[in-house]
């Protein structure tokens, strides 16, 4: 996992968790009043951190907020090392019958179905598009042409979007462009597959 850390519109750190957090610590020593925004570099999901904590605590908090399982304090029932969480699911009887007939049981079958669905090109594009929107909402709502740029993004008009972003601070613009370019790459990969079908 990697992080992107901003102070307002200024990029403080980008990279692997330990390295990014270390750079943020150093930055806070020089700029103690900084208000840091920490994002998962892949999903643009905000991660809330209190930098008054130790580095180990920060890493644990990043892992926890990213959905990674914490180190289990004791061993008991279930599968704590995998970070398995129990929830209720309501399905029709025929769905339960089908799941129960799958190898690995109901839970294993559900996990496999979800992982397969997440790997489809259409789903990857959808997740990448949501990432762009989250990043823009976090970093750019106060910037000129934000609404117009978002409209162009949702119309798949990326060049006009980039033109509207031209006055944005370099770090924000660069980060948003990287995310949009990832969307464009995924969409280009999907086009030949659609032609073949």
Shared domain for 112 and 131, answered yes or no, is: no
Shared domain for 93 and 48, answered yes or no, is: no
Q: At 58, phi and psi to the nearest 5?
A: -65, -45
Q: Which residues contact 125 (CB under 8 A, 6 or more apart)?
A: 183, 186, 187, 190
Please state the rounded mean pLDDT for residues 159-165. 97
Identify which of 160, 165, 189 has the alpha carbon closest to the alpha carbon of residue 175.
165
**Cα–Cα distance between 143 and 65 in angstroms, integer?**
28
pLDDT of 75 > 60? The answer is no
Quote the tokens at residue 158.
């990326």
Residue 39 φ/ψ region, left for φ over 0, alpha for ψ in the -120 to 50 degree band, beta for the rest: beta
pLDDT bracket for residue 79 (50, 70, 90): low
Shared domain for 154 and 136, answered yes or no, is: yes
Is residue 81 a part of any domain in this protein? no
Instruction: State the pLDDT at residue 173.
Output: 96
Number of domains within the chain = 3
Instruction: State the pLDDT at residue 87.
Output: 81
118/139: higher pLDDT: 139
Residue-number span of the structural domain to which 49 is assigned: 2-65
Instruction: State the pLDDT at residue 192.
Output: 64
Shared domain for 112 and 159, answered yes or no, is: no
> What 8-state DSSP symbol labels residue 89?
-
Shared domain for 49 and 108, answered yes or no, is: no
> Which residues are registered as beta bridge partners of 5?
13, 38
Shared domain for 102 and 168, answered yes or no, is: no
Is residue 74 a part of any domain in this protein? no
Identify which of 3, 72, 73, 69 has the alpha carbon closest to the alpha carbon of residue 36.
3
Please state the rounded mean pLDDT for residues 28-55. 92
pLDDT bracket for residue 108 (50, 70, 90): confident
Quote the tokens at residue 94.
């025929």
Please state the rounded mean pLDDT for residues 72-89. 62
Instruction: State the pLDDT at residue 137.
Output: 93
Is residue 141 a part of any domain in this protein? yes
Is residue 114 a part of any domain in this protein? yes
69/19: higher pLDDT: 19
**Cα–Cα distance between 22 and 94 in angstroms, integer?**
52
């Amino acid at each position: 996992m990697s992080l992107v850390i901003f102070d307002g519109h200024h990029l403080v750190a980008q990279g692997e968790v330990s390295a990014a957090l270390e750079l943020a610590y150093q930055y806070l020593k020089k700029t103690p009043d900084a208000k840091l925004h920490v994002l998962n570099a892949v999903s643009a999901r905000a991660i809330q951190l209190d930098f008054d904590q130790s580095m180990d605590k920060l890493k644990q908090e990043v892992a926890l907020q990213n959905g990674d399982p914490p180190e289990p304090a004791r061993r008991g029932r279930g599968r704590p090392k995998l970070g398995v969480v129990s929830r209720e699911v309501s399905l029709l009887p025929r769905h339960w019958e089908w799941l129960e007939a799958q190898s690995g049981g109901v839970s294993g079958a559900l996990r496999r179905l979800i992982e397969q669905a997440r790997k489809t090109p259409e789903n990857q594009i959808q997740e990448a598009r949501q990432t762009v929107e989250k990043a823009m909402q976090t970093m750019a709502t106060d910037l000129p042409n934000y609404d117009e740029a978002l409209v162009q993004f949702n119309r798949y008009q990326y060049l006009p979007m980039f033109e509207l972003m031209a006055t944005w601070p370099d770090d924000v613009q660069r980060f948003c462009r990287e995310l949009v370019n990832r969307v464009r790459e995924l969409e280009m990969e999907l086009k030949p597959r659609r032609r073949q079908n």
